[in-house]
Amino acid sequence: MDRRTARIRVARPAAALTAAASALLACSGAVPAGTAAADAAAQPPQAVPAAAGQTLITGMAAPIPTSTCLTRIKVRCYSPLQYRAAYRLDPLYRSGITGSGRTIVLVDSYGSPTVQHDLNVFDRQWGLPGATVDVVKWGKVPAWNPKNSDQTGWAGETTLDVEYAHAVAPGARIVLVETAVNENEGISGLPQMMSAEKYLIDRGVGDVISQSFGATENTFPDFSRTGAPSLTSLRYAFTDAQQHGVTVLGAAGDTGSASGNTAGGLYRYPANSWPSSDPLVTSIGGTGLTLNNAGRRTAPDTTWNDGYGAGGGGWSYVFARPSYQNAVAGTVGSHRGTPDISMTAAVDGGAWVYSSYLPGQGWGIIGGTSEATPIFSGIVALADQKAGHRLGLINPELYAMGESDAAADGIVDVTTGNNGYGGVKGNQAGRGYDLATGWGTVDAALFVDALAAHSP
């Protein structure tokens, strides 16, 4: 008999700002009432995996079809083969576009001691080509301790990142950076991640960097209405990526319009998280898919908000509106808005993942924007191969595509749902760009070709 264990924990990733908060900012330039910077000034930022706590089921002996999941577990569950069908990836694979010759860099604290074995099992299950995970240890990574919840949490994130980046871009090289500093313990871990990224960028390693972690902007110790110097001083890796033509992605978070505070709970007002909020990063939000066993849609995609979590999105309090968002100024105001684009992230509709870093794990169902982000990293790797070069910061091209002939360029509008969460009013999806799912999601067969063609 399959052994199933429900494991819903509290996640602390990015959040969204409401329209009312944005209007207040635009009119006064001040932090909205109730968001006094003093609330966070004395506390360090808590950067965590953006999908931590989004494991719904673990310990199953084998995956089961979506229809059986609905009957037995009362939620939907999806395989990478269903995602291939839903996002129309197979036409790209048949034409030889698999991510070959391109490298995806995944950044996680600690990593997982079983990541290669788990990927091998995952690949055999779904008939995917095998791949070797190139592990880069940054700093003195501590020995594996299965009783350390920080390490086990990051091991789950690592497994999800590796399996789904590879599933979407099976021909791409996967480089996993394991940093030695616990990102759950404040600001000290973020420089480790940024320095690791810069090191690899400077040595030509990586065409796209996938980041499934975030720290609420408000939790940086010097956050105020004038910015957060301790945050902006960490951007050196992203400016370096821009100079070297490397694409950087960031998960928009799993608590929608709410956001994690340093006490382990949620702020009662909207906020946003970095690095997703950075203008040099492509912010990846979350959608919910409704698929049958073959991966065909039985309903349009909607904003992820299923009771287990919600896709992050809203206004940044640190960054002004970048020029590529000028055409959507009516939505974002004078601030950087997130997300830019969204992929599947729902927990009720989560992804099958194989893990063995703890006893009795096996197959489980995981969701969150930490699923969406490595999936989109695979999409970028495919576009890199199609273009024959790195695409670099894709946001200007993405917004130009969205503003012109979005549907022809493979941008699929998501017009339903909102990302309200934790009692904090959310942002409503609608036609065109919005702060719930960005431009929506993608038809990869069209999107990859268009992104490659639009990029210089």
Residue listed under structure tokens 């509290």: 10
In whole angstroms, give the CA distance from residue 17 to residue 149.
Answer: 31
Residue 187's pLDDT is what?
Answer: 64
134 contacts 174 by C-beta, under 8 angstroms: yes
46 contacts 300 by C-beta, under 8 angstroms: no
Taking the CB of residue 65, how many other CB atoms lie within 10 A of it? 15
Q: What is the pLDDT along the chain (456 residues), one digit of tens a residue?
A: 222 222 222 233 332 222 222 222 222 222 222 333 333 334 456 556 654 446 677 888 999 999 999 999 899 999 999 999 999 999 999 999 999 999 999 999 999 999 999 999 999 999 999 999 999 999 999 999 999 988 999 999 999 999 999 999 999 999 999 999 764 434 668 999 999 999 999 999 999 999 999 989 998 888 987 789 999 999 999 999 999 999 999 999 999 988 888 888 888 999 999 999 999 999 999 999 999 999 999 999 999 999 899 999 999 999 999 999 999 999 999 999 999 999 999 999 999 999 999 999 999 999 999 999 999 999 999 999 999 999 999 999 999 999 999 999 999 999 999 999 999 999 999 999 999 999 999 999 999 999 999 987
Taking the CB of residue 449, how many other CB atoms lie within 10 A of it? 20
Residue 125's pLDDT is what?
Answer: 98
- What is the crossing angle of helices 395-403 and 444-454, to 10°? 110
CA dihedral (30, 35, 36, 40) positive or negative:
negative
66 contacts 82 by C-beta, under 8 angstroms: yes
Taking the CB of residue 326, how many other CB atoms lie within 10 A of it? 11
Residue 59's pLDDT is what?
Answer: 85
